[in-house]
Amino acid sequence: PSDTKQEKKDVVISGIDISSSFSGYENGIRHKLKMESDDRPKISLWGILKSMIGKDMTRMTLPVSFNEPTSLLYRCGEDMEYVELLDLAAERSDSIERLMYVAAFAASEYASTIGRVAKPFNPLLGETFEYVRPDKNYRFFIEQVSHHPPIGAAWAESPNWTYWGESHVKSKFYGKSFDINPLGTWFLKLRPTAGGKEDLYTWKKVTSSVVGIITGNPTVDNYGPMEIKNWTTGEVALVEFKARGWKASSAYQIVGKVMDASGQVRVSLGGRWNSRLYARLTPGYEAAVDEPSTKNKDIVHRGSIADPSRAYLIWQANERPAGIPFNLTPFVLTFNHIDDKLRPWIAPTDSRLRPDQRAMEEGEYDFAATEKNRLEENQRARRRMRENAGEEFVPAWFTKATCEITGEEYWQFNGKYWTQREKAGPDGDYE
Ligand code: CLR
């Protein structure tokens, strides 16, 4: 299924060595789904939704044709699409430049929301998803730790950084729009390759919203302020996602600034979350940063931003080839891939083993619907059994902890997933 062999990189380990988790991924990623196109029935969203005003997404029963073959666990894993920005950040010796790339990373995940007005599957309690990229030297892991409300605890690692947080969204259908409010805080520990202190950054995700439901032109918009703070240095980046509004020109727009610990602006940011982001050195003042008219506008900048007279391209969205079923991105379609090498390594709780999501991506919508019902019935039965026995669900791989630096709660990964995986070996004998 794949032509790109993923070779182990010669990694210089400044932090964690994750290469022991590469087993199973030898065949590389897949580049397409089995199915050529999704011939889902086109039903009006408003026709179905109009009776559900005031409801949240988890309480809505929608025909499976409104689903896409992803889940909220996969949607969180999509944060990994542009992790190169974190490696770029770690390589910068100036903390303002590091923060600039971290802000670009925090904004980059929204590019994948374009053209994806579809409901991801709701993960089952205790469902897990692991995703390892030996070619990019990172590993990602997430566990569904609560069902109502739906909460996923995520933990990703690479030698230069650790990224973790709670994927917890509150959603509500208001009639005019369908709003999704992320509640959790995201943490990033960066280990600058030049040495020195580790940086700890935190931020919260912005609001996502499906607009244009009534007019029959549903679109995902992402809007609101995002504050990315470096707790080690006191520096802050403010990034504003502009709401779509009436004018086409404000669609997808981002404006922002990176400030030093005394609040002085050092770098101005601008661009669009669906295409490109630019930065300009603006010591002591703020300036609008827009797409330059030069022919070099597509070359991503990888050095220091030294020249205040020009804007540098710091992030560019990946291509979205037309014709991928469900409008998926080439990145997310690699998630549900499983082959004979990988199968024996993954946990029995891994999302790749969900028959309903598998059926969905293969276009067997009726089977997907009956399997989804069966799994959810089983989940309800397990919950009743727990209740009768007076037990509570305990996540296998995470525990609640409080961050000493920010004072906020987070899900601490116990790390055992990867050691268990290694111990179990290719026979896949988890406890
Ligand atoms: C946005 C980026 C965040 C993580 C995240 C969480 C929930 C996702 C949201 C993202 C994108 C929009 C989303 C939402 C859940 C439901 C909603 C997929 C990925 C869709 C568009 C709602 C469709 C509703 C109907 C078909 C009724 O980091």
Q: What is the pLDDT of residues 229-254, one digit of tens each?
A: 999 999 999 999 999 987 778 899 99
- C-beta of 208 in contact with ligand 1 (< 6 A): yes
Write out pLDDT tens, residues 280-320.
999 999 999 987 776 666 667 766 788 888 889 999 999 99
- C-beta of 152 in contact with ligand 1 (< 6 A): no
- C-beta of 74 in contact with ligand 1 (< 6 A): no
pLDDT at 11: 40
Nearest-atom number in ligand 1 for the CA of 117 is 21
Distance CA 302, CA 37 (A): 38
Q: Which residue has the tokens 């179905």?
A: 48
Q: Whose CA is nearest to atom 2 of ligand 1?
A: 110
Tokens of 154: 């995520």
Distance of CA 394 to the CA centre of its chain: 24
- C-beta of 168 in contact with ligand 1 (< 6 A): no
Tokens of 292: 């330059």
Residue 86 pLDDT > 90, yes or no?
A: yes
Which residues are CB-neighbours of 90 under 8 A, at least 6 positions away? 98, 160, 161, 190, 191, 192, 193
Rg of the chain, C-alpha, whole Å = 22
Number of neighbours of residue 288 by Cβ within 10 angstroms: 10
- C-beta of 205 in contact with ligand 1 (< 6 A): yes
- Give the distance (Å) from ligand 1 centre to CA of residue 91: 32
Among residues 190, 267, 277, the alpha carbon closest in space to that of 233 is found at 190
- C-beta of 213 in contact with ligand 1 (< 6 A): no
pTM: 0.94
Name the residue of 57, 113, 172 to mutate for ligand 1: max ligand atoms within 8 A of Cβ. Answer: 113
Among residues 85, 88, 126, 75, the alpha carbon closest in space to that of 106 is found at 85
Tokens of 129: 């998803």
Between CA 109 and CA 115, with CA 114 as vertex, the angle to 5 degrees is: 145
- Give the distance (Å) from ligand 1 centre to CA of residue 196: 38
- C-beta of 118 in contact with ligand 1 (< 6 A): yes
pLDDT: which is higher, 298 or 257: 257
Residues in the chain: 431
Distance CA 15, CA 159 (A): 4
- C-beta of 66 in contact with ligand 1 (< 6 A): yes
Q: Predicted confidence band at 260 (pLDDT cuts at 50, 70, 90)? A: very high
pLDDT at 296: 64
Cis before 149 (ω within 30): yes
- C-beta of 147 in contact with ligand 1 (< 6 A): no
- C-beta of 363 in contact with ligand 1 (< 6 A): no
Distance CA 356, CA 366 (A): 10
Q: Answer yes or no: are the C-beta atoms of 428 and 139 closer than 8 Å.
A: no
pLDDT at 3: 44
pLDDT: which is higher, 51 or 190: 190
Region for 284 from its dihedrals, namely left if φ exceeds 0, alpha if ψ lies in -120 to 50, beta otherwise: left
Nearest-atom number in ligand 1 for the CA of 119 is 23
Q: Whose CA is nearest to atom 21 of ligand 1?
A: 117
Write out pLDDT tens, residues 332-357.
999 999 999 999 999 999 999 999 99
Among residues 57, 62, 48, the alpha carbon closest in space to that of 369 is found at 62
- C-beta of 80 in contact with ligand 1 (< 6 A): no
Tokens of 247: 């004018």
Write out pLDDT tens, residues 147-187.
999 999 999 999 999 999 999 999 999 888 999 999 999 99
- C-beta of 114 in contact with ligand 1 (< 6 A): no
